[in-house]
Amino acid sequence: MEMEQLYREHSDRVYSYIYFLVRHRESAEDLTQETFYKAYKGLDTFNKQASTATWLLKIARNVTYDYFRRKRVVHFFTFEKEHDIETKVLSPENRYEQKEQLIKMYDSLSKLKKDYQEVLLLRKIQECSIQETSYILDWTEAKVKMKLTRALEALKKEFHQEGGRENGTIKRIR
């Protein structure tokens, strides 16, 4: 596969995955470029054990963790209140309420253990399969299922402690 085509087909997904982890546009852009550079260098060793998208997400995860180690950053999913969340345009009140609930959900997510955050990000936000998530995280499929169940329960508990209401916000992530 040609690298340009690989980038066109997968860069948005890789970028959004990294952005959810770093929450900084410029850093996410740089890390996305680094991911594709590493993919280019390793293209001849890609053994097709996983899909191309899954392979790229695994590289993106490793690149991002290297970045965190370099920067000594331990915050995942730090949600900036001023960040613009896409919401359905209903009424200004409904849009505001939906935005507030999403902020509470992301705040709740940021308080979970790192492995819970990762499994939720991959399974529910990136919509990776159990097999893909298992490959990216180097976990067994049973561990992915178990961690996901525990993560969803922990998120629900934390979300309610944040004052969130389950009016579709948590349901959307399930």
Alpha carbons 121 and 39: distance in angstroms, whole number: 21
Buried b (16+ CB within 10 A) or exposed e, 94-103: eeebbbbbbb
CATH number of the domain bearing residue 34: 1.10.1740.10
Residues in the chain: 174
Per-residue pLDDT tens for 84-108? 444 344 566 766 777 677 777 778 8
Mean pLDDT, the chain, as a whole number? Answer: 81
Residue ending a domain, choose from 36, 71, 106:
71
Alpha carbons 57 and 10: distance in angstroms, whole number: 9
Q: What percent of the chain has pLDDT over 70?
A: 76
Question: Residue 17 domain-assigned?
Answer: yes
Q: Can you give the residue range of the structural domain that contains 43?
A: 3-71
Alpha carbons 129 and 70: distance in angstroms, whole number: 30
Same-domain status, 67 and 100: no
